[in-house]
Structure 1
Amino acid sequence: MYPPFIQPDDLLMLEKMSNTIRFLCADMVQSANSGHPGAPMGLADIACILSLHINVNPKDPDWINRDRLVFSGGHASALVYSLLHLWGFDLDLEDLKSFRKFGSKTPGHPEFGHTEGVEITTGPLGQGVANAVGFAMGAKYAQKILGKEVINHKVYCFCGDGDLQEGISYEASSIAGHHKLDNLIVIYDSNAITIEGGLDVAMSEDVSQRFIAQGWKVLKCNGHDFVSINNAFIDAKKSDKPTIIIANTRIAKNAIGLEGSHKSHGSPLGEEIIKVSKKALGFDENATFAISSDVKIRFLNVLERGELAQKIWSDELTEDIKAKICDLKNPHFANISYPDFSSSVSLATRVSNGKILNAISQALEGFIGGSADLAPSNNTHLEGEGDFPNGKNLHFGIREHAMGAINNALANYGLFLPFCATFFVFSDYMSASIRVASIMKARLFYIFTHDSIGVGEDGATHQPIEQLTHLRAIPNLCVFRPADAYENIACWQIALKANGPSAFILSRQNLPVLNPIVEAKVAKGGYILRDTPSAKITLLASGSEVHIALEGAKKLEEEGIRTRVVSVPCYDLLISQDKEYISSLFGDTKVLAIEASRGIEWYIFADDVLGMEGFGSSAKGDELFKHYGFSPENIIIRAKALLGYS
């Protein structure tokens, strides 16, 4: 009846451990007078049993073969912090007492890089489910290049009703089932409660049948019965499929008067309820943040077990494997042999980018990625590299939501530099994951092609207008829109070394290949591409509009109007430059910005912006450029008007 490591005599101690977690969480929320006590208290019994299974070393949180633990519901942060403290991570009781306070290690929702032991910033509901799939995929590819004896850890994910209602969880679960990710274990906190009340106000599907249909193993347990929970974990670890454990729980378990109530989800329980509940369970009603010595010792078994496991693992590593892990963690960018585009007269930046991706891939073993079923159009296929899990090419299917979040986890796995790709207009589907990646400063790359009205006949629904402005507004994200193949190389040289994510916005149509450009110029975001003495006007442009600006400048010069052209492959880098550099670009000239998008951000530099005032139309790309004014002739008209010429 009882597995070897749970005997009947252990149950009282497990109960004490679980209630200790519950009251730590309740005290944290009460002290902050803000937060979510219900889910942490409902999950405490499961978290207690997870402590018997999880394989981490709090003294070395970056150990590459550690189990990964993802909390998809970030509102359970009090539980996250309680566990990290009890397991021995760098989080003391004072940190728990500072929950949700400014400058603390315990913010309202867990943040990667801010709190030791937090594997990823999950943010919006559902993201964590896809993150967990990403970690599991990362482990599978790590097994391929390092060996199953080196990488054999599990990925655990706690999720709730809200996570499974968000569409991203459908997409990610489908990918996990397709790839038979047997290293993934999702614990579904099925408490049938949401903020508005009972789950039945908005959801009535059979979750188990959904996951069975997607190729998962489905287990069920009583989320407050230690033996039932433990048996589920044991069975899940033996599975040859991804596994979801549907754990029936009571929200705010053991909170007298509020157990099972939606009112416990997002508000403190109140001091009186906490006191009464503590007293009823044999705890000191007047003591807060209390952890008895016997409970502390039991939880610290996680640290002792993890230290031993890592030592055994490390002792068995060969020198070759150690060197390979080191190289994956510290890629050698100097080894990249970038393509030569000198023989090309014109080339779409999506095409030059494809050649660059392959050059990077050949030099860096950890450079992996794929597209949302658009690799032939995005030019993202890595030649000769095979398909995941035996190769570098990831096929996400038409699942942009999941693709973005999966890449966040691949970036955080610790061995990879991942990229993902789709048409630029569909980056809207990825907004949440891009934002979270930027908060984390995750090192990953977005390839967004078909970047403007140049898409052509597909029409307004497929022509990005506002997306550039949106992405440029996101802090920590470098958005590159190269004018040609050589700017594309320079952008990649910068992006690979960046401390955060980068997005490449690339053309469908061919663009003239200009002269090679040094990385240092692009590193400032913008540079003078065409200069002339005593310039009266500066034409500022990015991407496919740069060559149009050059043509316009030539015609303006023919009319005696001295014109400078500034190429801006990265707006985000340009706005970070000092006033002296900005002045060196524009001086006392009038500035006309030219970009086939909304472009309102250019007013920080420009006196006038030639951009899109509305959505596009269905026609050939070159016809649309002329129709909407992106032509040398219209540039002359706008420039003269700006200068006050008739």
Structure 2
Amino acid sequence: MCVKEIQPDDLFMLEKMSNTIRFLCADMVENAHSGHPGAPMGLADIAVVLGLHLRINPKDPKWLNRDRLVFSGGHVSALVYSLLHLWGFDVSLQDLKNFRKLGSKTPGHPELGHTEGVEITTGPLGQGLGNAVGFAMGAKYAQNILSSEIIDHKVYCLCGDGDLQEGISYESASIAGHHCLDNLIVIYDSNAITIEGDVGLAMSEDIAQRFQAQQWRVLECDGHDFISIHQALLAAKNSTKPTLIIAKTIIGKNALTLEGSHKTHGAPLGAAVIAESKKALGFDAAQSFFIPEDVALRFSQLKERGELAQTLWEQKLACNPEMKQKISAMQCPDYDGIVYPTFKTGEMMATRVSNGKILNALSQSLLGFMGGSADLAPSNNTHLEGTGDFPNGKNLHFGIREHAMGAISNGIANYGLFLPFCATFFVFSDYMSASIRVSAIMRTKIFYVCTHDSIGVGEDGATHQPIEQLSHFRAMPNLLVFRPADAYENIACMQVALKAQAPSMFVLSRQNLPILSPVSYEKVAKGGYLLQEVRAGLTHQITLLASGSEVALALKSAVILEDEGIGVRVVSVPCFELLAQAGEAYQASLFAKSKVLAIEAARGLEWYRWADGVVCMDSFGSSGVGSELFAHYGFEPQNIAQEAKKLLTLKQSI
């Protein structure tokens, strides 16, 4: 079937293909006793036509120049898995029958790395639109490095009313329009139904005008008319702007009595409705998970086209060894070859400043390193010197859009070439939490740079002083949260982060901190290490644990205690999660059966995992000079020493 034109004789087969998808999806949900049949059935006609346009190769799902297809609404998972099976990915018919079952390749919402052919874990509604913008931005920057002859694919995204109601979609679309991402095509499944009923209950805006105002091209089509869908896709592929195709669809299409009902959104249709629907369309009502041979043959043509496209691309690449070498350098970066900055012990420097120097060292050494800030680069110290701005350079200007920044960065990180970072004030990381959580689920390598890490922010007051955020992100699995004590520990943290297959967060100070001695990768890789041993002649009685700016405070407090004859160990813990993974034996070697006092200018309740006491924040902060706030809330040497002696007194009384 030619992708350039659909003939009237093709319509019967296209309808048979789409109905096959509908009933596969309905059978999957029915067999699982849970799921979402409505949107998959409504999108089946669009999916069939989209398959004629997609350039992907199921034999090599990670082929670099493939089209990217993002399903922003993860509740269309039954459609995703049906398509992957029919197109020839490693998703069997049995996998479809195991839909939503424990340990299956077909979980309730698609997950990257779990199911072959899934491009990204979209998770909450709206994330996928941001991810698609990230893929499109990645492709644009790849074109800058490799040329438009090597990278010329499209990024497709299917979204629904729920995605466009989430605020992240507005932010993401704004960035896409600003950068004229003509490689991005978003298909809006406009079925006017959400869980509670008609979309008009909560939404009345003109979506077309909204996207036009954001510099998008807007097209409309009948989502059940194959020729209309096809013509819209052809026009979108030739657009000079990102394109939104508003496809008018009917939720639960061909589900007879339930067609168009919000009841089809998140519940099985029921065996009787499915049987009657199959019978009405000429399918065997008694047969489940049925794929006609001629339908299977038609779907398999996508694989044949994809193999040919990849072969031609590889021939082109073989004639350009320079581009091939650049791809290799980005896909297999030399982390050991990075030349890090040097610092002078004893000088004062904020970790946001030292981190900025480290980021620039990475930029100079790694072709695929790129990133930016939410309009805070001068404060975050994240500008990459001498590299230019996107799309021609490495610096991304996200604007004041943390929600979209996180999702876009996930897309860039999963494009296949780049190591991105994104930056904001730590207190605004709340806006990115959903994106950070999804990157942690995917174990995507990405750096979240979060500066202004505590009450040290100072005069801006409680609204800008993060208190509970450290505890929140430390509780998140697969996320490494680094809070370095100084510039040298910052380098070691970066070295550990580069070699970890997980996202990392760097929580950095606004205020200057003393630069301590260099520390090894091996020590920081354990999450915590002995920074200062007990003074000679004293007996070890208490261990002070601290991270970030409170490490220097712990060292000062130790002097007071040891002058009073109390033996103190100081342990720096730049990464709570890695110390937790280091094992009880290693942890015991640090604490050596002493009393343990943790110090952190945040909520800090997680420290009770090891500590007998914690000097932490019991309230939100205040407006005032940072140094005065530290003293006001008890983060000064005399108070720490007093709290340590209280612990020892308690031990003696027991």
TM-score > 0.5 by shorter chain = yes
Provide the secondary structure at the position in 1 that maps to 2:540: coil
- Counterpart for residue 385 of structure 1: 387
TM-superposed CA distance for 1:534, in Å, is 2.6
Q: Aligned residue for 2:563?
A: 558
Matched, 1:277 2:277: yes
Q: The residue matched to 1:48 in structure 2 has which SS?
A: helix
1:462 corresponding residue in structure 2:
464
Q: Does 1:503 align with 2:487?
A: no
Question: Any conservation in 1 of the 2:112–2:121 contact (CA below 8 Å)?
Answer: yes
Q: Residue type of the partner of 2:27?
A: D
Letter aligned with residue 230 of structure 2: N
Partner residue, 1:316? 316
Residues 375-400 of structure 1: CA distance to partner in whole angstroms, max 9, x if unpaired? 00000000000000000000000000
- Residues in 2 aligned to 1:119 and 1:344: alpha-carbon distance in whole angstroms: 48
1:490 aligns with 2:495: no
**Which deviations, in whole Å up to 9, do the C-alpha atoms of 1:400-438 show, x marking residues without a partner?**
000000011111100000000000000000010000000
> SS of 1:413's equivalent?
coil
Find the residue that maps to 1:536 and give its secondary structure. Answer: strand
The answer as to whether partners of 2:3 and 2:53 remain within 8 angstroms in 1 is: no
- 2:642 corresponding residue in structure 1: 637
Paired residue for 2:342? 340
Q: Is the Cα contact below 8 Å between 2:346 and 2:516 reproduced in 1?
A: no
1:264 corresponds in structure 2 to 264
Instruction: Give the gaps of 5 or more residues in structure 1.
Output: none
User: 1:229: Cα distance to partner?
Assistant: 0.3
Shift of 1:218: 0.1
Which runs of structure 2 are paired with 1:419-438 in the superposition (5 Å)?
419-438=421-440
Deviation at 1:603, TM superposition (A): 0.2
Post-superposition Cα deviations, 1:491-513, rounded to whole Å, max 9, x if no partner, equal 00000010110000000000000
Distance in 2 (CA, whole Å) between partners of 1:495 and 1:238 is: 41
The residue that corresponds to 1:294 in the other structure is 294
Q: Is the 8 A contact 1:511 1:547 kept in 2?
A: yes
Shift of 1:343: 6.2
2:598 matches 1:593: yes
What secondary structure is seen at the aligned counterpart in 2 of 1:252? coil
Match of 1:48 in 2: 48
Indicate whether 1:400 and 2:402 are aligned. Answer: yes
Amino acid at match of 2:252: A
Q: Deviation per CA, 1:567-612: give whole Å up to 9, x if none.
A: 0000000001121101110011100000000000000000000000
Structure 2 unpaired stretches of 5+: none
* Counterparts of 1:283 and 1:142, CA distance in 2: 46
Is contact 1:154-1:185 (8 Å) kept?
Answer: yes
**Pair 1:88-2:88 in alignment:** yes
CA distance in structure 2 between the partners assigned to 1:344 and 1:140 by the alignment? 44
Q: Tell me what 1:162 maps to.
A: 162
2:125 partner letter: L
Distance 1:299 1:624 in 2: 66
Provide the rounded CA distance (Å) in 2 between the counterparts of 1:455 and 1:5: 61
Asked if 2 retains the 8 angstrom alpha-carbon contact of 1:369 and 1:392, the reply is: yes
Match of 1:574 among 579, 591, 603: 579
Check whether the contact 1:3–1:231 (CA below 8 A) recurs between aligned residues: no
The amino acid of 1:412's aligned partner reads N
Partner of 1:477: 479
Match of 2:526 in 1: 524
Deviation of 1:4 (Å): 4.5
Q: CA RMSD in A?
A: 1.0
Alignment partner of 1:236: what SS? helix
Quote the sequence identity (%): 71
The whole-number CA distance in structure 2 between the counterparts of 1:78 and 1:416 is 30
Task: Provide the residue aligned with 1:172 in structure 2.
Answer: 172
* Count of residue pairs the alignment pairs up: 645
1:155 and 1:554 map into 2 onto residues whose CA distance is 59
Q: Is the 8 A contact 2:193 2:262 kept in 1?
A: yes
* CA deviation after TM superposition for structure 1 residue 5, in Å: 2.9
Distance 2:279 2:346 in 1: 79
Amino acid aligned to 1:525: G
Provide closer, same or farther for how the CA distance between residues 4 and 417 of structure 1 changes in structure 2, counting only shifts above 3 A: closer
Q: Is the 8 A contact 1:221 1:229 kept in 2?
A: yes
Report Cα offsets for 1:57-79 as digits up to 9, x if no partner: 00000000000000000000000
1:187 aligned to 2:192? no
8 A contact 1:370–1:393 mirrored in 2 = yes
- Contact 2:18 2:44 (8 Å CA) reproduced: yes
Other-structure match for 1:6: 6
Shift of 1:470: 0.2
Moved runs in structure 1, 4+ residues, more than 4 A? none
1:149 aligned partner: 149
In the TM superposition, residue 3 of structure 1 has moved relative to its aligned partner by 8.0
State TM-score, norm by structure 2: 0.98
TM-score (norm 1): 0.99
Preserved contact between residue 417 and residue 443 of structure 1 (Cα < 8 Å): yes
